[in-house]
């Protein structure tokens, strides 16, 4: 018996070591990637993948930990994107620090939107929840389209300035690459801390069994709204970064299809794992780029692939069981 235990422990240790080796290798590749590829296009694709990683991992808090399917993520990204950009361009003084303050404000306003939508939406669950979140996403898009004095309507906001730190300006694609990478890593660390804390356990407990979670002293509405607001905060940060990277923002960036796409990334990779959402984001971004020449068939191919994958691996590609 002792021998068996020792062996399994040794195995676990090896597993753990292998895991850290893998993380180390990935980080090393990520650190040198822009210098290894000569093509600026590939760096652009990597930037998109990193952006989608940020928003997909943030959605994983709600979709994976809490187990609620949200169809409104693009709405929160839009709130962050427009808030950051408008504050930075029109409200705050012309200084490099303004962008970062605006970015934080964008995240916080998105989080506030998360609370406002979350309180009524979290009292209901399942199918009603996704109807409410989808409604929210569409409402945000209509506000952006029609509040022309502020958002410039369907034409969108153009020539968004690049962020900078002191005299250093983020102009090149690989500058943004490192910016996105650092923010993604910080976010993953923060979310991992939460996942393995009493807060993360409360979320998972709610997903597993609401009644038992409540009997164990977990305030359901509070923890659901907390998950929703933290998820929205990071989505807002992602949006703020996207606007400055693309130099352009329009309501058409935030269609309901975008929310579905991000949700698909989470489910495809495996929800509730963090690295699942990460993997899904890279995979889907890659798919999108590879299939770009076949534009009219792209969604069809992605749709069929999704159906096959979900049939074969219902918990996602990296999900267990």
Partner 1 sequence: MNSGLEVQQIKTMENKETNLPSSTPEAASPLLLDAREVTIRFGGLVAVNKVSFQLHENEIVGLIGPNGAGKTTLFNAISAQVPLSEGSLTFRGPEGKIDLTRLQAHDMTRIGIARTFQNIRIFKRMTVLENVLVGGHWRYRQPAISIMLGQRAYREEERKRTAEAMELLELLGLARYAHDPARSLPYGLQRRLEIARALATRPRLLLIDEPSAGMNDQETMELVDFIQNIRRQFGLTVFLIEHDMKFVMSFSQRIIVLSSGKKIAEGTPAEVQRHPLVIEAYLGEEMDYA
- Segment 211-250, which members bind partner 1 (CB under 8 A)? 211-220, 226, 230
Least distance to partner 1, CB of residue 2, Å = 11
Q: Is the CB of 292 or the CB of 320 nearer to partner 1?
A: 320
Q: How far is the CB of 226 from partner 1 (least distance, A)?
A: 7
For residues 300 and 289, what is the distance between their CA atoms, to the nearest angstrom?
A: 15
Instruction: To the nearest 10°, report the CA torsion of 84, 80, 280, 58.
Output: 120
Q: Does 111 bind partner 1 (CB under 8 A)?
A: no
- Which of 10, 208, 301, 314 is close enough to bind partner 1 by CB under 8 A? 208
- Please give the Cα distance from 272 to 62 (Å, whole number): 9
**Whole-Å CA distances, 234 to 12, 86, 179, 259:** 33, 18, 15, 15
Residue 2 in the binding site for partner 1 (CB under 8 A): no
Tell me the β-bridge partners of 289.
none
140 or 194: CB nearest partner 1: 194
Give me the least distance between CB of 276 and partner 1, in Å please: 14
User: How many other CB atoms are there within 10 angstroms of residue 314's CB atom?
Assistant: 10
User: Residue 203 CB, nearest distance to partner 1 (Å)?
Assistant: 11
Helix, strand counts (H, E) of the chain: 13, 2
Q: Which of residues 145-204 bind partner 1 (CB under 8 A)?
A: 189-190, 193-194, 197-199, 201-202, 204
SS3 content of the chain, % helix, strand, coil (to 5): 80, 0, 20
* H or E segment and range at residue 164: strand 164-165
**Under rule CB under 8 A, residue 102 binds partner 1:** no
Q: Does 264 bind partner 1 (CB under 8 A)?
A: no
Residue 311 to residues 20, 306, 316, 317, Cα–Cα distance (Å): 31, 8, 10, 11
Cα–Cα distance for residue pair 150/138, rounded to 1 Å:
18
Q: Give the interface size with partner 1 as a residue count (CB under 8 A).
A: 27
Structure tokens at 191: 């979310």
- Least CB distance from residue 41 to partner 1, whole Å? 36
CB 42 → partner 1: shortest distance, Å? Answer: 33
By C-beta, is 77 or 194 nearer to partner 1? Answer: 194
Among 205, 249, 265, 274, binds partner 1 (CB under 8 A): 205
Question: Taking CB under 8 A as the rule, does residue 267 contact partner 1?
Answer: no
* Contact residues for partner 1, defined by CB under 8 A: 5, 12, 189-190, 193-194, 197-199, 201-202, 204-205, 208-209, 211-220, 226, 230
């Amino acid at each position: 018996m002792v021998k068996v235990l020792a062996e399994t422990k040794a195995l676990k240790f090896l597993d753990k070591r292998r895991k850290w080796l893998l993380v180390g290798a990935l980080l090393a590749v990520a650190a040198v990637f822009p210098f290894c590829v000569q093509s600026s296009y590939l760096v652009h694709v990597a930037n998109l993948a990193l952006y989608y990683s940020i928003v997909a991992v943030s959605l994983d808090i709600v979709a994976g930990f809490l187990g609620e399917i949200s169809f409104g993520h693009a709405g929160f990204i839009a709130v962050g994107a427009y808030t950051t950009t408008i504050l930075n361009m029109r409200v705050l003084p012309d200084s490099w620090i303004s962008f970062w303050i605006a970015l934080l404000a964008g995240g916080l306003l998105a989080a506030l939107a998360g609370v406002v939508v979350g309180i009524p939406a979290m009292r209901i669950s399942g199918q009603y929840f996704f109807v409410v979140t989808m409604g929210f996403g569409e409402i945000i898009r209509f506000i952006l389209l029609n509040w022309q004095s502020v958002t410039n309507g369907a034409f969108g906001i153009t020539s968004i300035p690049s962020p900078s730190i002191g005299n250093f300006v983020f102009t090149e694609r690989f500058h943004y690459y490192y910016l996105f990478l650092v923010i993604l890593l910080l976010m993953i660390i923060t979310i991992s801390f939460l996942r393995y804390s009493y807060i993360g356990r409360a979320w998972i407990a709610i997903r597993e069994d609401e009644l038992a979670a409540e009997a164990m002293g977990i305030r359901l509405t509070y923890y659901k709204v907390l998950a929703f607001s933290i998820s929205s905060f990071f989505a807002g940060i992602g949006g703020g970064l996207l606007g400055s990277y693309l130099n352009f923002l329009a309501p058409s960036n935030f269609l309901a299809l975008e929310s579905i796409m991000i949700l698909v990334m989470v489910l495809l990779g495996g929800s509730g794992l963090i690295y699942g959402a990460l993997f899904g984001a890279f995979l889907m971004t890659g798919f999108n780029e590879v299939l770009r020449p076949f534009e009219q068939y792209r969604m069809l191919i992605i749709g069929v692939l999704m159906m096959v994958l979900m049939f074969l691996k219902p918990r996602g590609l990296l999900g267990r069981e």
